[in-house]
Amino acid sequence: MTIKIGVLGFGTVAQGLPKLLAEKGLHLEQMLGESFAISKVLVRNQEKREQLANGDWSYDFVTDIKEIIADDSIQVVIELMGRIEPAKTYISQALKAGKHVITANKDLLALYGSELSRLAEDNQVAFYYEGAVAGGIPILRTLANVLALDKVERILGILNGTSNFMLTKMIDEGWTYERALAEAQALGYAESDPTNDVEGIDAAYKASILAQFGFGMRVDFDQVSHQGIRQISPVDITLAQKLGYAIKLLADVRQLASGLSVSVAPSLIPLDYPLASVNGVMNGVFVESLALGQSMYYGPGAGQLPTALSVMADLWQVGRVILGQETVRPFNPLQAPAQLARQEDILSIYYILIEQAEVSKFNQLGLAVSQSLALEGYQAYLTPLISLVELEDRLNQVGLNPISLIKVLGE
Amino acid sequence: MTIKIGVLGFGTVAQGLPKLLAEKGLHLEQMLGESFAISKVLVRNQEKREQLANGDWSYDFVTDIKEIIADDSIQVVIELMGRIEPAKTYISQALKAGKHVITANKDLLALYGSELSRLAEDNQVAFYYEGAVAGGIPILRTLANVLALDKVERILGILNGTSNFMLTKMIDEGWTYERALAEAQALGYAESDPTNDVEGIDAAYKASILAQFGFGMRVDFDQVSHQGIRQISPVDITLAQKLGYAIKLLADVRQLASGLSVSVAPSLIPLDYPLASVNGVMNGVFVESLALGQSMYYGPGAGQLPTALSVMADLWQVGRVILGQETVRPFNPLQAPAQLARQEDILSIYYILIEQAEVSKFNQLGLAVSQSLALEGYQAYLTPLISLVELEDRLNQVGLNPISLIKVLGE
């Protein structure tokens, strides 16, 4: 008996699912011993409904969530609407109705992931969301099934394809921030309001999910410090290259003696680090762990078919649960009390850009800089390892307000 | 009731398992609801047995496999002896005795993987071997659990850490092949007989396993063409760099219209490809597939703890089977009839190195070369896309025997 699916939302990503099911559904059926079929699809309004019903799709398009929740023949709900509400309410209703739920909604998971996971557990149903972080890269499953048995020490991620595309073009083609943004919008990578992408908010949502999978810690979203790419100037890019670094918007989740540090910020990455060659709209997640050492997972961070593949992987596991081939288990097996690192324990090298007129002021800081470089009236320095609070404190003391202050990876 | 393990072999890799169990065993127990304990360990002879029994280990060291096979309290056998025999016989006995088996023995799996998998299926026990390819990188599980739902088109892999270390040093430090080999041996990366590593045999074993996981096809090992790194000269390295390429020993598993092509050969990789920055003893597996597009998995290809982590991931899944949390399933869900590509369908760009005295002969080939470069009496060319059979045929016709002939990735 075919396993019936209700899909919430039918935008670009959701329409990838029928495509992939058409290509691989038979194969999935062979592996599982049972087939899947999309039964009902929830759309926004009557107009949308009629438009789709008159198209190529044979699904039952509905506008009322009750038609899916109350339909006992539907065992799996796949939420691909995005945003917080009404997605949160609908998912909660589906879980309470004993339906397994798959989503790729990172905003929702970052903010309400534990609440929804608990609800799934209470109702003994599966709640999987591989597509929520790094699109098609199976990073959550890898963290949950393999790295959960290791001791993860740090996760570094290039998690937002839009900003990475923009930075790549700013570096490789010398584009300005404005041009890069306009092109990203023209190509459909960035929305008309690009705030979440360029301000690091989208990456911060994903960093908070990675913190849960890598360390079991639920870090409140407002405790993830995030900074965007707006302030990166052509001078920074030129100097970074001369110093041997790429600039990337980097999520950094790191276990320190005093606790976990979770941040998203533009960062200088040495050109010979594997993450430095994650370019364009691609994503990369780099993990440092006790047993495995260094590993990296690279692939498209978004897109119709990559996300559909993640949903398919979730769907296979849900199918195994429905058919009694495996028990329901939490997607993320790790749970630990959240303990945040003290600000003064978070040490890093920093790149500081000032005007040459301020060099004497900089020298008063007494920092043993490892490199310095001049360009067109500007001066750049790489500091020794120092905490941001101490660095800012010292800068205040000498009355120096740098043009740029960017984290640098490496010893 | 603790799940008891019998371990076959107690070399470096096997000794990583108790280390990782000491670190993460409690955690594994929390995730699973049951603990694991190594009960008996098979060692080579009495001498070894006494030596170990007098050491720090509290295991029951035995020299006769029967003591493990006949012990009904042992539910899991982990084979870490390596080589074909007696590993194959012992694994077969364990499977027939209804024990779940975990191994990291790539040689054995490449040659007898399907036979042993069938035996496991017949006896309804698990047979997992994440550690067999690319050490700690969870590439087999990713292929089996995620990419099996995609349509894999090509797998490119840097799968042998020893030869990659050597090539990296030959490129970065200008070492000769001989020096690179001596250093690899001094560091313990290469054995005293390095044939399997430097001749591409070890990589070919792994490529054959990747062919099974990526395409479901069992390709006989003698149908995997393999070529090693011995013939790479300093001139090749210099010219490759000038042309914008890295040289890597690359496994290439590729679906063509006429069938599958599986080969291992030194290859020129454009410097901006993600695989080009897989250096030293690290491994990388790059996958091209329909839905996901391009993805890459990077990490240590060997080593005590990375391999132990792969064994732990297998062990967790075996534990779930033993405890009824999931059903036994084949590690690799794909099966398709093996169909090899016709040689004339396997097209590639080639790098050809000749002496400058032979340039007029080369010109008689009538190849529309895309690049050519001269160095110290030598001349290098990049050919258009051509099959190796046709290229060799043409070279024979004009009586030209190139000094080097190396595959080049890219359009």
ipTM (interface pTM):
0.95
Partner-chain contact B294 A282, CB within 8 Å: yes
Considering chain A, tell me which residue range(s) the CATH 3.30.360.10 domain(s) occupy: 139-300
Q: How far is the C-alpha of B248 from the C-alpha of B165, rounded, in Å?
A: 10
User: Which residue type sits at A3?
Assistant: I
At B312 the three-state DSSP class reads helix
**Tokens standing for A292?**
């495995």
pLDDT > 90? residue B221: no
pLDDT for B172 equals: 93
Residue in chain A closest to B334 (alpha carbons) equals A31
User: Which residue type sits at A95?
Assistant: L
pLDDT for A56 equals: 85
- In percent, the amount of chain A with pLDDT more than 90 equals 90
CB-closest option in A20, A24, A274 to B298 = A274
**H or E segment and range at residue B270:** strand B259-270
Quick one: average pLDDT of A373-377?
93
Q: How far is the C-alpha of A288 from the C-alpha of B299, rounded, in Å?
A: 10
Please give, rounded to a whole number of angstroms, the shortest distance from the CA of A337 to a CA of chain B: 15
Q: Compute the residue count for chain B.
A: 411
* Torsional class of B267: left (φ above 0), alpha (ψ -120 to 50), beta (otherwise): beta
pLDDT > 80? residue A66: yes
CB-closest option in A130, A274, A327 to B326 = A327
Known catalytic membership, residue A206 = yes
Quick one: average pLDDT of A346-371?
95
Partner-chain contact A298 B303, CB within 8 Å: no
pLDDT for B55 equals: 84
Please give, rounded to a whole number of angstroms, the shortest distance from the CA of A27 to a CA of chain B: 7
**Tokens standing for A347?**
């040490």
CATH of domain A3-136+303-322: 3.40.50.720
**Tokens standing for B225?**
């063409």
When mean pLDDT is compared across A249-253, A314-318, B145-149, B332-336, the lowest value belongs to B332-336
* Beta-ladder partners of A65: none
Q: How far is the C-alpha of B150 from the C-alpha of B144, rounded, in Å?
A: 10
CB-closest option in B24, B272, B300 to A293 = B300
Contact yes or no for B214/B295 (Cβ under 8 A) = no
Considering chain B, tell me which residue range(s) the CATH 3.40.50.720 domain(s) occupy: 3-138+303-322
In angstroms, the Cα distances linking B131 to A82, B80, B304, B319, B392 are 38, 10, 11, 17, 38
Mapping DSSP onto H, E and C, the string for B131-184 reads HHCCCCCCHHHHHHHCHHHCCEEEEEEECCHHHHHHHHHHHHCCCCHHHHHHHH
Q: Which residues in chain B have their CB less than 8 angstroms from residue A142's CB?
A: 138, 141-142
Q: Which residues in chain B have their CB less than 8 angstroms from residue A291's CB?
A: 16, 20, 23, 136, 305-306, 308-309, 312
User: pLDDT tens digit string along A187-234?
Assistant: 988 888 899 999 999 999 999 999 999 999 999 888 999 999 999 999
Partner-chain contact A313 B146, CB within 8 Å: yes
**Tokens standing for B245?**
């390429």
Alpha-carbon torsion, ordered B184, B189, B192, B197, to 10 deg: -90
B217 by Cβ neighbours in 10 Å (0-12 / 13-18 / 19+) ranks as buried
pLDDT for A411 equals: 64
Partner-chain contact B292 A309, CB within 8 Å: yes
Considering chain A, tell me which residue range(s) the CATH 3.40.50.720 domain(s) occupy: 3-136+303-322
Please calculate the CA angle B175-B177-B180 and round it to the nearest 5 degrees: 60
CB-closest option in B151, B294, B313 to A299 = B294
Contact yes or no for A266/A227 (Cβ under 8 A) = yes
Max Cα–Cα distance, chain A, nearest Å? 78
Please calculate the CA angle A157-A149-B205 and round it to the nearest 5 degrees: 85
Max Cα–Cα distance, chain B, nearest Å? 78
Q: Find the catalytic residue in A206, A242, A248, A407.
A: A206
Partner-chain contact A294 B296, CB within 8 Å: no
Q: How far is the C-alpha of B291 from the C-alpha of A127, rounded, in Å?
A: 23
* Beta-ladder partners of A76: A5, A100
Helix, strand, coil shares, percent, chain B, to 5: 40, 25, 35
Q: If we measure between CA atoms, which residue out of B182, B197, B177, B165 comes closest to residue B237?
A: B177
At A219 the three-state DSSP class reads coil
Considering chain B, tell me which residue range(s) the CATH 3.30.70.980 domain(s) occupy: 344-408
Binding-site residue positions of B: 106, 191
Partner-chain contact B300 A295, CB within 8 Å: yes
Q: If we measure between CA atoms, which residue out of A64, A21, A20 comes closest to residue A43?
A: A64
Contact yes or no for B338/B219 (Cβ under 8 A) = yes
Please give, rounded to a whole number of angstroms, the shortest distance from the CA of A410 to a CA of chain B: 17
Q: How far is the C-alpha of B106 from the C-alpha of B104, rounded, in Å?
A: 6
Alpha helices in B358-406 (DSSP H): 359-363, 388-397
Binding-site residue positions of B for L-homoserine: 191
Residue in chain B closest to A144 (alpha carbons) equals B313
Binding-site residue positions of A: 106, 191
Q: Which residues in chain B have their CB less than 8 angstroms from residue A278's CB?
A: 274
Partner-chain contact B293 A136, CB within 8 Å: yes
A280 by Cβ neighbours in 10 Å (0-12 / 13-18 / 19+) ranks as middle
Residue in chain A closest to B295 (alpha carbons) equals A299
Residue in chain A closest to B274 (alpha carbons) equals A277
Please give, rounded to a whole number of angstroms, the shortest distance from the CA of A145 to a CA of chain B: 7
At A161 the three-state DSSP class reads helix
Please give, rounded to a whole number of angstroms, the shortest distance from the CA of B137 to a CA of chain A: 7
Q: A393-399 long-range CB contacts below 8 Å, 24 or more apart? A: A394/A365, A394/A367, A395/A365, A398/A361, A398/A362, A398/A364, A398/A365, A399/A361
Please give, rounded to a whole number of angstroms, the shortest distance from the CA of B151 to a CA of chain A: 8
Which of A23, A34, A283, A309 to substitute to test the interface with B, most B CBs within 10 Å? A309
User: pLDDT tens digit string along A113-136?
Assistant: 999 999 999 999 999 999 999 988
**Using 50, 70 and 90 to split pLDDT, how confident is the model at B411?**
low
At B395 the three-state DSSP class reads helix
Average pLDDT, chain A: 95
Partner-chain contact A145 B277, CB within 8 Å: no
User: Which residue type sits at A79?
Assistant: E
Quick one: average pLDDT of A168-186?
94
CB atoms within 10 A of CB A70: 11
Partner-chain contact A138 B137, CB within 8 Å: no
Binding-site residue positions of A for NADPH: 106
**Tokens standing for A296?**
């990296």
Binding-site residue positions of A for L-homoserine: 191
Fold of A345-408: Alpha-Beta Plaits (3.30.70)
**H or E segment and range at residue B355:** strand B347-355
Contact yes or no for A128/A104 (Cβ under 8 A) = no
Please tell me the CATH superfamily of domain B3-138+303-322, with its number: NAD(P)-binding Rossmann-like Domain (3.40.50.720)
Q: How far is the C-alpha of B232 from the C-alpha of B177, rounded, in Å?
A: 8
Partner-chain contact B313 A278, CB within 8 Å: no
- In percent, the amount of chain B with pLDDT more than 70 equals 100
CB-closest option in A298, A312, A326 to B274 = A298
User: pLDDT tens digit string along A49-63?
Assistant: 999 988 888 899 999
Please give, rounded to a whole number of angstroms, the shortest distance from the CA of A46 to a CA of chain B: 32
Contact yes or no for A77/A6 (Cβ under 8 A) = yes
**Tokens standing for A409?**
């990876």
Quick one: average pLDDT of B103-130?
95
**Using 50, 70 and 90 to split pLDDT, how confident is the model at B316?**
very high
Question: In Å, how far from its chain's centre is CA B319?
Answer: 26
CATH of domain B344-408: 3.30.70.980
Cβ-Cβ contacts under 8 Å between A and B: the total is: 160
Partner-chain contact B292 A306, CB within 8 Å: yes
Which of B29, B149, B282, B310 to substitute to test the interface with A, most A CBs within 10 Å? B149
Considering chain A, tell me which residue range(s) the CATH 3.30.70.980 domain(s) occupy: 345-408
Query: What are the start-end ranges of the E strands in B19-117?
Result: 36-42, 60-62, 74-79, 100-103
Q: Compute the residue count for chain A.
A: 411
Partner-chain contact B291 A20, CB within 8 Å: yes
Q: How far is the C-alpha of B113 from the C-alpha of B99, rounded, in Å?
A: 17
Q: How far is the C-alpha of B116 from the C-alpha of B127, rounded, in Å?
A: 8
Hey, which CATH number is domain A139-300, 3.30.360.10, 3.40.50.150, 3.65.10.10, 3.90.25.10? 3.30.360.10
At A96 the three-state DSSP class reads helix
User: Which residue type sits at B336?
Assistant: A
**H or E segment and range at residue A375:** strand A371-375
